[in-house]
A and B are shown apart, each in its own frame.
Chain A
Amino acid sequence: MLRIEGLTAEIDGKAILRGIDLEVPSGELHAIMGPNGSGKSTLSYVLSGREGYEITGGSVTFNGVDLLAMEPEERAAAGVFLAFQYPVELPGVGNANFLRTALNAQRRHRGENEVDAMQFLKLARARMKELSMPEDMLKRGVNVGFSGGEKKRNEVLQMALLSPKLAILDETDSGLDIDALKIVSEGVNALRSPAFSALIITHYQRLLDYIVPDRVHVLMAGRIVKSGGPELALALEASGYASVAA
C-alpha cells in the first residue's frame, strides 16, 4: 500500500528526514516512535502534502502511484488521511458543512454520487454516537471552542466518515485522558480491515496498549534506526530511546 524509499526532506535548508525506508502493506498498522525532533511530524506532513517542505530525494508510492506528485486534496481523495497533532480551528465554518463538503469533494473526485444533507446527518450521527460526541458539535465552528479531547475525537470522526485507505495519526494520543484515549482507539480499531492501513506516530507506548500495531519503527534524527514487533514498544518504554540509539 505505502512504500517509502530513501526519502529525504528539509525545511529552510535544514535536513529533517535523512533517508527513510518504510513499507506498510495493506491491512497493517505500523507505529512510528521517536523522541522530539526526530522528524515524526515532518514525515506526516510530507506524506499529506503540506507546503514548506523541500523533498530532496527518494520516493513515496501509494498503491503504485507517485504520492509526492499529487496535491493534498488528490492524496485525500486517493485515500490518505492525516489526523493532525494540532487540529486547526476554522471560525465561521460549521462542522457539519465542513464534513459534508469534504466527503462530497472526495466522492466527486472518485466519480461517486454525493450524499445529500439528510443522508449525511444520519451517517454523521451514527458515527458520533460511537465516539461519544455530543450532537451539537456538528453545529459549532470546526474545532472552535473544542477541548483538546474534543478536537482529537473530531479528527477520528472525520476519519470514520471519510473511510481512508491509509490513516496517519500524528500524536493523536497527546492531551487525551484515559477515557478519551479508549474512545479514540476504538474508533481506529473499528476501521481495521484488510484494505485499511495506518501509520501511528506517537511518543509514548501507552496508545499502543489500545491500538496494537503489527510493526513498530523507531525514528531518530530523520532515520528509522530499528524495527520490530509490538514488543519493541515495550522495550522502549522500559529503557528509553537512548538504549536503542546505542
Chain B
Amino acid sequence: MNAIVNNNAAGLLGRADALATPAWAAETRAAGIAALRAHGLPTRRAEAFRYTDLAQVAQASFGENSPMGARGLGMPSLPLTRGAARLVFVDGVLRGDLSSLPPRPLSDAQALLGGLTSLPTQPIAAMNAALFEDGLFLDVPEGEDAGLVELVCVVTGARGAIGFHPRHVLRLGRRAKLTLLDTSDGAAGLAYLHNPVFEISLDEGAELAHVRIQREGRAAFHLSSVHCAIAAGATYDNFTLNAGGRLARNEIHAALNGPKAMCHMNGAQLVGDGQHADTTTVLHHAAPDCGSRQTYKTVLTGKSRGVFQGKILVSKPAQRTDGYQMNQALLLSEEAEMDSKPQLEIYADDVKCSHGATVGALDPAQLFYLRSRGIPQQAARSMLVEAFLTEATEGVGDEACRAALSEAVTAWWAQERA
C-alpha cells in the first residue's frame, strides 16, 4: 500500500476531526483517522481495488454527520416483517420511536470494537472507524434463540446527501441463534454515502443467518464490510442482495477459527444501467474440518459493471477443509462488463476446494424451447432471468427473509425490463 499514499481522503478526515468523540470510541476513531491519513482511499493501483475505483467517493462531499437526537424526519413506508424486533435508522439517526427493540448503547460494545478489522489494508472499515457514531449492538446470551431481528436503514434526503457510517456489533454466545435481516434503502437521485461495518463474533455452536438487502438510491454510494469470527461448530450464513447505488461494494471477511465451523456466503447482484456493483469475499479457513459454500449470481443490464473477487485462504492446520465457490454472471446487454477474480491460497495438504466462474448471455437453446411452447420472447427472457436468480435465493432458510428477497428481485426485474 506504500505507493498509494496521498491525501485524497482530506474531505473525510476533515469531517472526522470535527466530530465529538466519546471516550469509548476514541481508540477506534484514532486508528481509523491514522489509517486514512497514511493511505488515503485506494486507487485502482491497489490490487484489492483494481476493478472498483473509490476516486468518486474521495471527490464527493457528504453533509454533516448525524447530530444525535434529530427528530421529525419522515419515515417512508417499507415492507416490514410483521412482529419482528426492529431497529430503525432514518437519515443516519437511530429512531427509538420507530424501533421495537430497546437499543443497547454501542458504548457497551467497546471491548469488541475494532477487534476484527485490519484498518491499514481495509479502507472501507477505516473510513467507518474514522467517522462512526452509532450502530446496532446485539449480544445474544448463551443458548438463547433471538429469532428474527430487522435492521432498517433509510436515507430520505430530508437532511441532504449525508455520509452515514454506522458500526454494528453482534456477539452470539455458545449455541445462541439469530436471524438478522438488514435492509438499506434511500432516496433516488441523492448522492449520499452509506458505509456500514459489521463486527460479528460467533461463539461455539452459535448460528447466525444474516440476510442483507442493499437497495440504495441509484445515485448513492454503498461501501460496506462484514467482519466475522466463527468459533468451533458455529455457522455464519450470509446472503447479500446487492441491487442499489451508483457504486456499491460489499466486502465480507470471515474466519473459520475452530473445528467444524461453517460459513455460507451467497448473494445476487442486480446491476442496471450506470451502476457498478462489487462483491469481495475473503475467507480464512484457519481450523480443521470446516466447510464453506459460496454462490454468487450477477445479472447485468445496460451499461453496467459487476465485480466478484473471492479469496479462500486455507492455512496449514485447516486439514480436511471442504470449500466451494461458484460465481455466475448473466450479461443482458453488450455494454455490460463482469470482472471475476477467484483466488485460492492453500497451505494444508488434505483439502477439497473447488471454484468456478461463468459469464454469459441467456442460452439461445433455452429461449427457443420456451418460445416454441408459445411463450413470447420478452416473457421467456424474464422467466430465464428469474430462474437464474431464484437459484440463488431459494437456499435462504428463513421464510420471511426469502420472501423479502424474492420481492426485491421481482421488483428490480420489473423495473429493468420496462
Contacts and interface: CB of A to CB of B under 8 A. Distances in A.
B372 interface: yes
B145 to A, nearest CB: 31
Interface stretch (A30-38, A99-107, A178-186): A99-107
Chain B contact residues: helix, strand, loop or mixed: helix
Contact of B375 (A48, A81, A105): A105
Contacts of B394: 92
Given A50-B368, A72-B368, A84-B369, A92 B376 contact: no
Contacts of B389: 92
B374 A102 contact: yes
A31 B240 CA distance: 54
Given A88-B365, A90-B366, A105-B379, A72 B372 contact: yes
Contacts of A102: 370, 373-375
B84 to A, nearest CB: 28
B324 interface: no
B374 A49 contact: no
A50 B364 CA distance: 9
Interface string A57-92: 000000000000001110111000110100110111
A39 B364 CA distance: 21
Interface string B364-390: 111011111111110110011011111
A23 B393 CA distance: 50
A91 B373 contact: no
A177 interface: no
A106 B365 contact: no
A93 B377 CA distance: 16
Contacts of B388: 92
Which of B370, B373, B387 has the most chain A CB atoms closer than 10 A to its own CB?
Answer: B373
Contacts of B407: none
Interface in A170-229: none
A116 interface: no
B20 to A, nearest CB: 51
A98 B364 CA distance: 17
B334 interface: no
Interface residues of A, number: 29
B345 to A, nearest CB: 31
Contact of B373 (A71, A76, A92): A76
Interface in A96-121: 98, 101-103, 105-106, 109
B326 to A, nearest CB: 13
Nearest to A92: B387
Contacts of B364: 51
B387 A73 contact: no
A147 to B, nearest CB: 18
B376 A105 contact: yes
Interface residues of B, number: 24
A84 B370 CA distance: 12
B391 A92 contact: yes
Given A88-B366, A90-B366, A105-B379, A72 B387 contact: no
A149 B365 CA distance: 20
B391 A91 contact: yes
A92 B371 contact: no
Contacts of A50: 368, 372
B374 A106 contact: yes
Contacts of A81: 372
A9 interface: no
A183 to B, nearest CB: 21
A49 B369 CA distance: 11
Interface string A4-39: 000000000000000000000000000000000000
Contacts of A158: 373
A71 B371 contact: yes
Contacts of B377: 71, 73
A46 interface: no
Contact of A88 (B369, B375, B376, B391): B369
Contacts of A162: 373-374
Interface string B390-410: 110010000000000000000
Contacts of A88: 365-366, 368-369
Given A72-B368, A88-B365, A109 B384 contact: no
Nearest to A45: B368
A90 B384 contact: yes
Contacts of B368: 50-51, 72, 88
A89 B245 CA distance: 34
Given A92-B387, A92-B390, A93-B384, A48 B372 contact: yes
A91 to B, nearest CB: 6
Contacts of A48: 372
B380 to A, nearest CB: 8
A72 B389 CA distance: 26
A101 B372 contact: no
Interface hub of A87, A102, A106 (most chain B Cβ within 10 A): A102
B266 to A, nearest CB: 14
Interface of A: 48-51, 71-73, 75-77, 81-82, 84, 87-88, 90-93, 98, 101-103, 105-106, 109, 141, 158, 162
Given A49-B372, A87-B369, A102-B370, 8 more contacts: A71-B377, A72-B368, A73-B377, A73-B380, A88-B366, A92-B390, A101-B375, A105-B375
Interface of B: 364-366, 368-377, 379-380, 383-384, 386-391, 394
27 contacts: A50-B372, A71-B376, A73-B373, A73-B375, A73-B377, A76-B371, A76-B372, A76-B374, A82-B372, A87-B369, A88-B369, A90-B366, A90-B383, A90-B387, A91-B387, A91-B391, A92-B387, A92-B388, A92-B391, A92-B394, A93-B387, A98-B370, A98-B373, A98-B383, A101-B379, A105-B374, A109-B374
> 7 tightest CB-CB pairs across the interface, nearest first?
A92-B387, A76-B374, A102-B373, A106-B374, A88-B369, A72-B371, A93-B387
